[in-house]
Amino acid sequence: MTRTTGIHITGQTLRLTCLETTPVGLQLIALSEAPLSAPLCPESIQNSGVRLQLADEIRSALQDLCADPGEVIAALGGGFFQLRRVPLEIASDDDRREHMIWEASQALISPVETYQIDFYPSGRVAFWVAVRKTVLDLCQEVYGVDKLSFQGFVAEPLALFHAATTANLWKDKRQAAVLLAAPWITWVVADEGLLTTAQTLHTIADTPPQETASGFSFMAGSLQRWIFGEITPEKKQSDYHEIFLCGEPDQIQKLAESLSSGSNAPIIPFDPFVSLDTQQVPDAQRRYLNASCGFGVATGLACWKGPKALL
């Protein structure tokens, strides 16, 4: 039996999910959330004092989570990575990797050697992910990788897709899952269970705080435009069968109700625990089970079976 803990930071909130693989399936062992003194973003990690403080807070949260968090995987959020979809027509893994690096080199501004690059295959397409090596070094410092059984980083869209896969949410229809983390919106689409779209878009620089009325209206409007294909770079193909929302629990239910009236597709708060055994969760942490839509990415990391991207 092995344990893995996923770490996801949005804004100034840290969320942790610890899963254990057993002969009968995945068990949810522990979960928690904690406030942070500063947001984790490409600007904040340039400050050495912020990095040290966040590292202390992450280490403290892991110690409070459970006695044995096992291996640790962390998410990279908006602003930390570039991700693109490209056709996948090459069979061998080595040739695929070489082809993905070439594809990335055509899109990246700086020399490809300055990036760490990995890719995620899905049917006849693949998604390459690139992170500047200098940024990755700073992230590793924040997560204190030398003090943990650290397995690597995974981009938010891929972790979100994997969480929905583990929860058995993808059917033989066109469905989507959305993570709202102002000023970023992450959108993944699956057709017949295969990832076909993965995007993280920055809305606007002066996005109002999500917890305010104006911030809520802004995020609702942005999401509605996305649903109807107005702000996606890819051509809208067909209506969605279902759309799952992930994000701050106190906003997601209200947002789902607000958007459902204008959409043909059901818009549902995302429950990443629906297919998990939750009996082992300590009493003191069980309140987080009612805020499950905030733990989608952390859960996707904890059950990650793909490549431990961007080590």
How do residues 208-228 score in pLDDT, each as one tens digit? 455 555 555 666 666 766 666
Full pLDDT tens readout for the chain, 311 residues: 689 999 999 989 999 999 999 898 899 999 999 999 999 999 999 999 999 999 999 999 999 999 999 999 999 999 999 999 999 877 777 788 889 999 999 999 999 999 999 999 998 899 999 999 999 999 999 988 777 788 889 999 999 999 999 999 999 889 999 998 877 889 999 999 999 999 998 876 444 455 555 555 666 666 766 666 644 545 455 578 889 999 988 888 888 877 766 667 788 899 999 999 999 999 999 999 999 999 999 999 999 875 555 44
Give the burial class of 163: count Cβ atoms within 10 A of its Cβ; 0-12 exposed, 13-18 middle, 19 or more buried.
buried
Given this model, what pLDDT does residue 264 score?
A: 73
Let me know how long the chain is. 311
Given this model, what pLDDT does residue 216 score?
A: 58
Given this model, what pLDDT does residue 230 score?
A: 47
Given this model, what pLDDT does residue 251 score?
A: 83
Which CATH number applies to 2-79+132-156+275-302: 3.90.79.10, 3.40.50.300, 3.30.70.260, 3.30.420.40? 3.30.420.40
d(CA 244, CA 169): 9
Q: State the pTM of this model.
A: 0.90
Given this model, what pLDDT does residue 75 score?
A: 95
- What CATH number has the domain spanning 162-269? 3.30.420.40
Given this model, what pLDDT does residue 250 score?
A: 82
Nearest to 20 by CA among 11, 8, 29: 29
